[in-house]
């Protein structure tokens, strides 16, 4: 087992004031506390608690290769008590020895962590891999979930077709001369457009090696392929049937109970109009909101994402 901590001596919360200014927050900065909880195999899951003296109203799960800090600007704009978790193998959470980061395994760890960190009823929102994981977390905690929001992901996504560029960005290059080289690569892959926001995210997700080059701190960048629920894009399998399709079943079951379920998609992201229509067909009446931006909406359009969360979270319908 290995824990990947940010080796920098800098305060991990050093960007919060700038994040608040970016989203035009006028209220004082909230308290944000690093928290953690035990999960399986002697590992620990880490996260960020916004307003830790209050029960979180929202739990957020990030995508592959990212970390909980990616949601900082969105949560500062939203202004609700919340818990953003580092998925296993990401941020300050321990790596899995088996290097297997499929949604079902992640969901088991997240559910255990939430028993300790967010035992009361909350809404759950997940981006990309975190969105797939959130479906199973909500299923395991159905009586303690008040709403489920997926951000730019559905079980209809075919990883080799729709997420191939993300996987190539994560694993295709192992080290960089400086952060500017990483920013250039991210823009070339359509990961983001704002150099300022990318620089912030990269600073919180990289470390300098002994040879002076920079590398990602998350485990996925140190693997030959991604075990995240679909085939490796390198194998050329771009068939129409999504390997994630079995996740429609628990999602549809949650929807059938009356749990508010919603999709927020990026107009230049992973969920195209065809996938959005499939969502509407399978989950009738479930809201679909579209925000201008790339796949990582929480980094590119945090105010707009926060506004969509606010609209979808409250007031929440009574479950049937």
pLDDT digits (tens, 9 = 90+) for 278-292: 999 999 999 999 999
- 242 pLDDT above the threshold of 90: no
Topology given in CATH for the domain delimited by 16-158+241-313: Rossmann fold (3.40.50)
Of all residues in the chain, what percent carry a pLDDT higher than 90?
Answer: 76
Per-residue pLDDT, 193? 66
User: 188 or 50: which carries more pLDDT confidence?
Assistant: 50
Per-residue pLDDT, 315? 60
- pLDDT confidence of 132, banded at 50, 70, 90? very high
Per-residue pLDDT, 159? 78
Q: In Å, how far are 27, 197, 309 from 315, measured between CA atoms?
A: 23, 31, 11
Where in the chain are the domains?
A: 16-158+241-313
Per-residue pLDDT, 96? 96
Lowest mean pLDDT, pick from 100-109, 155-164, 209-218: 155-164
**Cα dihedral sign, 136-137-142-145:** negative
Burial bucket for residue 305 (CB in 10 Å: 0-12, 13-18, 19+): buried
pLDDT digits (tens, 9 = 90+) for 298-320: 989 999 999 999 999 986 443 33
Per-residue pLDDT, 164? 64
Per-residue pLDDT, 253? 98
Angle at 16 between CA 13 and CA 20, to 5 degrees: 170
Nearest to 204 by CA among 84, 121, 312, 313: 84
User: 172 or 46: which carries more pLDDT confidence?
Assistant: 46
Q: In Å, how far are 19, 166, 183, 187, 274 from 192, measured between CA atoms?
A: 16, 11, 9, 5, 23
- pTM for this model (two decimals): 0.90
Provide mean pLDDT across the span 20-27.
97
Mean pLDDT of the chain: 89
Burial bucket for residue 242 (CB in 10 Å: 0-12, 13-18, 19+): buried
* Cα 224 to Cα 203: distance, rounded to the nearest angstrom: 23
> H or E segment at 312?
helix 302-313
Per-residue pLDDT, 189? 84
pLDDT digits (tens, 9 = 90+) for 190-226: 777 688 888 999 999 999 999 999 999 999 999 876 6
pLDDT digits (tens, 9 = 90+) for 260-276: 999 999 999 999 999 99
């Amino acid at each position: 087992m290995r824990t990947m901590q940010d080796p920098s001596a800098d305060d991990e919360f050093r960007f919060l004031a700038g994040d608040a200014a970016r989203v035009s927050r006028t209220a004082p900065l909230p308290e944000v506390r690093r928290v953690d909880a035990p999960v399986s195999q002697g590992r620990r899951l880490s996260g960020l608690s916004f307003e830790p003296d209050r029960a979180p109203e929202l739990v957020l799960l990030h995508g592959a290769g990212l970390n909980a800090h990616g949601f900082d600007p969105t949560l500062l704009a939203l202004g609700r008590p919340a818990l953003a978790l580092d998925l296993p193998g990401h941020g300050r959470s321990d790596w899995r020895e088996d290097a297997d980061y499929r949604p079902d395994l992640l969901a088991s760890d997240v559910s255990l962590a939430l028993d300790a960190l967010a035992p009361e009823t909350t809404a759950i929102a997940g981006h990309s891999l975190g969105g797939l994981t959130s479906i199973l977390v909500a299923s395991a905690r159905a009586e303690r979930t008040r709403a489920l929001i997926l951000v730019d992901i559905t079980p209809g996504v075919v990883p080799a077709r729709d997420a191939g560029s993300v996987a190539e960005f994560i694993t295709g290059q192992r080290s960089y001369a400086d952060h500017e080289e990483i920013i250039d690569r991210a823009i070339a892959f359509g990961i983001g457009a704002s150099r300022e926001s990318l620089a912030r995210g990269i600073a919180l997700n990289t470390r300098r090696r002994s040879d002076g080059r920079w590398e990602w701190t998350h485990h996925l960048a140190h693997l030959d392929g991604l075990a995240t629920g679909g085939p490796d894009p390198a194998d050329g399998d771009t068939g129409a049937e999504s390997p994630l399709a079995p996740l429609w079943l628990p999602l549809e079951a949650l929807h059938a109970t009356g749990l508010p379920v919603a999709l927020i998609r990026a107009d230049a992201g992973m969920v195209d109009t065809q996938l959005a229509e499939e969502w509407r067909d399978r989950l009738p009446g479930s809201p679909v909101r579209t925000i201008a931006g790339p796949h990582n909406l929480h980094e590119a359009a945090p105010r707009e994402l926060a506004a969509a969360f606010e609209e979808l979270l409250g007031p929440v319908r009574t479950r049937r």
